[in-house]
Amino acid sequence: MGGSRVKTTGVLLCLCYCINTGISDDLSGPKCGLPQIRNLLDRSLRIVGGLEARYGSHPWLVSLRSRGSHFCGGAILTERWILTAAHCFSIVSTNVSVVIGEYDQRVPDEEEQTFTVNTIKIHEKYQHASPMSYDIALLEIDGHIRLGPGVQPICLPLPSEKFPPRTSCLVSGWGRTKERGLLPAILREVQLELVEPAKCKYVLQTLRPTQQALTVLCAGPERGGKDACQGDSGGPLICPREDGHWVVVGVTSWGKGCGRSWINNKAKSSAKRGSPGVFTDVKMLLPWIKMKLREGYLTLFNQVWICITDCIADGLTNDFVVVFCSTADANPNQKSKSTLGCGTVALVQDHRTVHSLNYPQSYSNDSVCHWVIYAPKGHVVKLDFDDFDLEQSDDCEYDSLTVLGDVDTKEEIAVLCGRNVPPPVLSYDNVMVLQFTSDSTVTYRGFHATVSFISKIGECDTDTHKPRIHITHHKKPTDQVIMKLSITDNAFTIFYIS
């Protein structure tokens, strides 16, 4: 083994990866919820099925299909994730396709795209026997949605955002136009007003059998005549912000009949009672949504494995030989759907640099990159920024560099964006994780920073250390690509042998 070479370089071997997800942390900024058709509420919408929607007026809406037949709706959150209702999968859970950019189900539409489903994430507290509570699910599709004028994500609500009772909102879908009616081919929409929470709770208590309604909100007139119906389930209830952007406030969940009056419910027989439209309260379940989306990142992270053979010299050039194990092709010239150019091995050592992809050229759109940096035991990681140029936004919701204190991404140290060089950042312990995200528009130069290790008693570490690696998953790799790492004092080069 080339021991002297290892000691003189003193590297820590870490993993850097990029995934093309197109998601910002908040999903609530002005780059979502903007259809090409404006003034959606300026129409006289009526009855259960409402009116035919205009093409492009609901670019976030998707059609879920089983064996080619529509059964539920959903809403685009990111280029890979769809928001829908859990009860849509009480019977159907396999052979589900997601149709994006749909308008007229009889013909292919201009921006129509079809994907299969990779993962279905249903809320852990949802129960089929009591389907009104926690009726929410996330779908990860097999591929990336091509955004365009007729295909756009919807905004998630901000935690502090409020839409008061009587706010006029919209529901859209390919659901029945009346109770026991037919499914329409062309997308329809209906305008509903939000109901006071106390009134919503009261009317739901008049229904039989009674159900817990822990995570719901209601919308629709007491006299009936306007409602969502079978086939609309999973679609979004959207409400407008003052700036014209649309927010998914609810997920279409449940209702007693379709468009029935619910005035004086107690005076009616159980069979004739009605209810407003019942929707899952998205803001109430916002922490769950964000947690599941982050878990999706970690799943992709854990699908890349590193196999170290003690940095054995190859006997010819005295360079290190590393086996890179991955479910995806490690050759950067053959990009897979889930990588964006930095799904390779990165080397970081004391007093060396880390920087955004392509620096000093502009970083890429729609990317999420991670660097995992380990300091020697008894030391912390210090990050000194030399240059910093990321898109500025409130709460860093567009492009950002997040500094974390653990590989589980739970200990947030700092979230950075803008064009001012930040002050130095210290880790809590001997590990620091950097997470860089960019959205689908506008890129800047990125960042360039120096990594150093500081002993916990305040002295910089000068010892050298053998390379080591944190292996997040212990699985048998499906592919192995041999790489030769040629390390110099200032840089490293990766040679793909085959």
Report residue 216 CA to chain centroid gap: 22
Q: Where are the beta strands (DSSP E) in 135-201?
A: 137-141, 168-173, 188-193
Q: Is 233 a catalytic residue?
A: yes
**474 is a catalytic site residue:** no
CA gap 34, 434 in Å, rounded: 31
Residues 201, 218: Cα–Cα separation, whole Å = 9
Active site residue 109: no
**DSSP three-state, residue 160:** coil
Q: Which of 24, 57, 70, 87 is catalytic?
A: 87
Quick one: 397 exposed, middle or buried, by C-beta within 10 A (0-12, 13-18, 19+)?
Answer: buried
The 188-193 sheet, strands edge to edge: 51-52, 188-193, 168-173, 236-240, 246-254, 277-281, 216-219
For residue 453, what are the β-bridge partners? 381
CB 357 within 8 A of CB 18: yes
Distance CA 150, CA 207 (A): 40
Residue given tokens 């995200």 in the structure block: 437
Q: Which of 25, 26, 135, 389 is catalytic?
A: 135
**Annotated catalytic residue: which of 233, 326, 438, 452?**
233
Residues with a catalytic annotation lie at 87, 135, 233
